[in-house]
A and B are shown apart, each in its own frame.
Chain A
Amino acid sequence: MTVHHIVGAAVPRKEGWDKVTGAARYVDDMILPGMLHGATVRSTVARGKIKKIKFGAGIAWNEYVVVSAKDIPGKNCIALILDDQPCLAAETVNHAEEPILLLAHTDRHKLRKAVEVISIEYEALPSVHTLDESEQRSAIIWGTDNTFKSFLVEKGDVDALWKEAAHIVEGEYFTGAQEQLYIENNGMIAAFDPENGVTVWGSLQCPYYVHKALMALFALPEEKVRVVQMETGGAFGGKEEYPSMIAGHAALLAMKSGRPVKMIYDRMEDMAATTKRHPSRTRHRTAVSKDGKILGGEIEFVIDGGAYATLSSVVLSRGTIHAGGPYYWPSVRIRTKAVATNTPPHGAFRGFGAPQSLFAMERQMDRIAQVVGISPVEIRRRNFLKPGQSTTTQQVIREKMDLDRLLSRALELSDYAVKKKRFAVENKPGPRKKGIGIASFLHGAGFTGSGERYLNSLVGVDINAEGNVRVLVSSAEFGQGTNTVLCQIAAEALGLPYENVSIAQPDTTVVPNSGPTVASRTAMIVGKLVQSAAKGIQETLTRTKLLRDEYTSEEFRAACKEYIAAHGALKSYARYEAPPDVFWDDEKYRGEAYAAFAWAVYVAEVTVDLTTYSVTVDDFVALQEVGKVLHPVLAEGQVMGGVAQAIGFALYEKVVWQNGRMSNNQMTNYIMPTSMDLPPIRVFFEELGNVHGAHGAKGIGELPMDGPAPAIINAVEDATGVRFSSIPLLPEDLFEALRPESGEQFVSASVRGTA
């Protein structure tokens, strides 16, 4: 067969033309005849009993459709993991912005007015707003002890270490909530009819999550629920679970009114009411030898899950498994938990727990270097995992990887040694201090442990009457390149031109459940299945002698038509098979956590301006080993975009909480970087292949989120000598730390070793 090189080439984005012409159809671009608009009445208190609901004067209430919890035909919950989150609050509310009533009307503006005149009286209940308050149990707001989930990872013998250690290094690190800030707000259109059931169209990542949630909410069988993904304007995890809620709401209104209902959030509502990244606190206590080798230690990692469990257990899981970073820990005890607070539930956001625990680990490494008296570079070299060694969960590294070499290359690309020396000299006088910092890290691709087995993904490829190939997956495109990459893989597998392959719009009546579009699993796991399913088409045709082993695209087309004429259809499915050598123990939290890890070293160069106390990132090097680069432009774009979001996480994006509610819920006051704020982001790849992914690809979508924040804060410490432990680091925070009265918690000079 002719060898094409579609995989690895910069083919045009499959839906790119529609995007650059404005023809791409997002949910708010769609109108259905007879459509109503829907809106949500939300709690204004963080925790309380609903005493009275008053429908205000001046509104013709008979024109409105009103839905409350009583209207829910099935279970009043958003089915996910623990099913503890109500779709609509009935008697109590557990967070501000919790949905209580739904309204629909033909006129969007009249709808808004009606929402504003509904007043609700609550009997306030004691509420908990921070991690500390939750742990201290000033009130029990969830379960018996405010704890959604906890994990314990143990390896070796931690208690024996402390006596032997030449150094014991402690640190406490914090990360704040972060808003995904997709430029397209959450939106959904729903239709209901008694015979066919519920249909929803919307902005979403996981059609089958929404499908499952609607089945439970409406007590409908699977064939009576249909979920269709529209073009989605950014997601980043923020549309992993939340769409189930807004879909449920729109569908309930559609059911009650008998008409289609469109619900589109405005920016203020979306920011205040929907999920954000889990805030975290990590405590490290590390036993280190005289020459800087980690002997072992204790890591405590706690995340704030908000008012309901939602995905917190899974975020906790990933944060737990990544807490030790890319280092060899002979012994370790990692104790983690997700706790409840009376805030809108936190949820998935690119990285999913790993950016939080890796921030702590990478700051801790620089701290260890200071205490031992060696450089941040050297401390990492002495502790990097190597093939054949085991991780904190005792997964033996069997893939090809060489962090030492990756680090050397990153240092060279960033001119680290020269700059470090130069900054040390040039920083002495003047208000501008420069610094350079590194972060080395890993990101596991796919669902943790037995997760992929549980997902049991199914992928299809079919051929239409004209002989064109179509990929059938529930994997959603939301900018990261799903459509393009999966079509590349199918085209390559079949030896056909990229143009001859299309991908079906994710519609649960058309595509099988290939799992959610999360966890950096699409290229690696779903891609591999697409490859298999495509090969299945080929095998069918060669088996029935309609096609030779080598063929042209015209011959392929002819063979397909012949087959379809004889058999009616030509389809092939491939189902996930867990690799035989991947074992995970859910109870001991031990074993092969991920089939593959991507490895990375990032370097950040910053300027700290002591006139304004602001930090600017001047240059950024992002080097990662990803198995195989399936599409150079898309892969580079993923890394650049992730780094940009992580720069926001480190320096700009602060959620301001007031009584359990986000008070800076506008783009004016929640600050994401503009085109004038970001450095050149220089992206480099290494490709060492991988046995599990299509063409050796490993996941890359989330990896870029893990490294920038610690690299930047390491650089800021390099520049200022101040040991910051908390992000976002705003100019106001830097200012407070540099005031002479700030006290002993900050050091005035760091020990610098030589690179």
Chain B
Amino acid sequence: MSLLPAASAKWEVSFTVNGHAKKVLAHPMERLLDVLRNDLGLTGTKEGCGEGECGSCSVLLEGMLVNSCLVPVAQADGTSIVTIEGMAAHALMKLLQESFLECGGAQCGICTPGMILAAVHLLEKKPQPALTDIREGLAGNLCRCTGYMQIFEAVAKAARQRVAQ
């Protein structure tokens, strides 16, 4: 490929999102967050701060939790991404949805998509997390409404139920 592309040339970026193959035409430095929301209409992923502090924009990129506001879409080329909309197909999702609803893990809901993705990521790495693991796993997701307690409870409950299954 040419080392020196024309200014403002758009790229064709291909990746799978929630199991579906997608192709977008985007400037390479578009934030993955904006491509998901604006180009693909997947508005479940939210912008809270634009600086990787709040975690509202969390998605799974190749199975890793990342802040999509800090990923240029060019780096998502050829990858597989999961957003909150794709969680329906995820084994842990139903457990977490139910436990979040039962335990009060979602109040205003704006941090919830990112929080659930962080919880999924945590439970995949640590199926039986202690409270300290849960605190650490969610430390990059700010919640202003709950004070976190009921979120911890929701994650712990989902973990217990998954083990019971």
* A478 and B50 form a contact (CB under 8 A): no
- Chain B residues touching A, range: 35 or more
Interface string of A169-181 (1 = CB under 8 A from B): 0000000000011
Cα A644 to Cα B145 in complex, Å, equals 8
Interface string of A439-453 (1 = CB under 8 A from B): 000000000000000
* B150 and A640 form a contact (CB under 8 A): yes
* B104 and A633 form a contact (CB under 8 A): yes
Q: Which of A10, A22, A637, A640 has the most CB of B within 10 A?
A: A22
* B104 and A12 form a contact (CB under 8 A): no
Which one of B37, B101, B136 contacts A16 once the chains associate, using CB atoms below 8 Å? B101
What residues on B are CB-neighbors of A15 within 8 Å? 109
Distance in Å: Cβ of B58 to nearest Cβ of chain A: 11
Q: Is A636 an interface residue (CB 8 A)?
A: yes
* B85 and A645 form a contact (CB under 8 A): no
Q: Is A479 an interface residue (CB 8 A)?
A: yes
* A676 and B135 form a contact (CB under 8 A): yes
* A667 and B51 form a contact (CB under 8 A): yes
Cα A377 to Cα B74 in complex, Å, equals 62
Which one of B104, B109, B141 contacts A636 once the chains associate, using CB atoms below 8 Å? B104
Q: Is A675 an interface residue (CB 8 A)?
A: yes
Distance in Å: Cβ of A110 to nearest Cβ of chain B: 12
Q: Is B44 an interface residue (CB 8 A)?
A: yes
* B152 and A675 form a contact (CB under 8 A): yes
Which one of A10, A21, A643, A644 contacts B84 once the chains associate, using CB atoms below 8 Å? A21
Distance in Å: Cβ of A13 to nearest Cβ of chain B: 6
Nearest to B108 among chain A residues (CB) is A479
* A641 and B48 form a contact (CB under 8 A): no
- Give residues of chain B (37-75) contacting chain A, Cβ–Cβ below 8 Å: 37, 43-51, 53-54, 56
- Give residues of chain B (66-96) contacting chain A, Cβ–Cβ below 8 Å: 83-85, 87-88, 96
* A181 and B139 form a contact (CB under 8 A): no
Nearest to B83 among chain A residues (CB) is A22
Q: Is A231 an interface residue (CB 8 A)?
A: yes
* B144 and A672 form a contact (CB under 8 A): yes
* A182 and B100 form a contact (CB under 8 A): no
Pair count A-B, CB < 8 A? 160
The B interface is mostly helix, strand or loop, or mixed, namely loop
Given the interface pairs A22-B113, A266-B50, the reply to whether A479 lies near B139 with Cβ below 8 Å is: no
Nearest to B109 among chain A residues (CB) is A19
Q: Is A24 an interface residue (CB 8 A)?
A: yes
- Give residues of chain B (117-146) contacting chain A, Cβ–Cβ below 8 Å: 134-136, 138-146
* B51 and A676 form a contact (CB under 8 A): no
Which one of A21, A267, A637, A645 contacts B51 once the chains associate, using CB atoms below 8 Å? A267
* B147 and A666 form a contact (CB under 8 A): no
Given the interface pairs A233-B108, A676-B139, the reply to whether A183 lies near B51 with Cβ below 8 Å is: no
Q: Is B159 an interface residue (CB 8 A)?
A: no
* A183 and B150 form a contact (CB under 8 A): no
Interface string of A222-251 (1 = CB under 8 A from B): 000000000111111000000000000000
Distance in Å: Cβ of B117 to nearest Cβ of chain A: 10
Q: Which of B54, B56, B151 has the most CB of A within 10 A?
A: B54
* A184 and B46 form a contact (CB under 8 A): yes
* B56 and A13 form a contact (CB under 8 A): no
* A181 and B144 form a contact (CB under 8 A): yes
* B149 and A667 form a contact (CB under 8 A): no
* B48 and A674 form a contact (CB under 8 A): no
Nearest to A266 among chain B residues (CB) is B50
Q: Is A678 an interface residue (CB 8 A)?
A: yes
A-B contact pairs, 12 of them (CB 8 A): A13-B106, A20-B106, A22-B43, A26-B110, A183-B54, A233-B109, A637-B145, A642-B147, A668-B53, A675-B138, A675-B148, A675-B151
List the interface of chain A (C-beta within 8 A of B).
10, 12-13, 15-26, 28-29, 180-185, 231-236, 266-267, 478-481, 633-634, 636-637, 640-645, 666-668, 672, 674-676, 678, 680-681
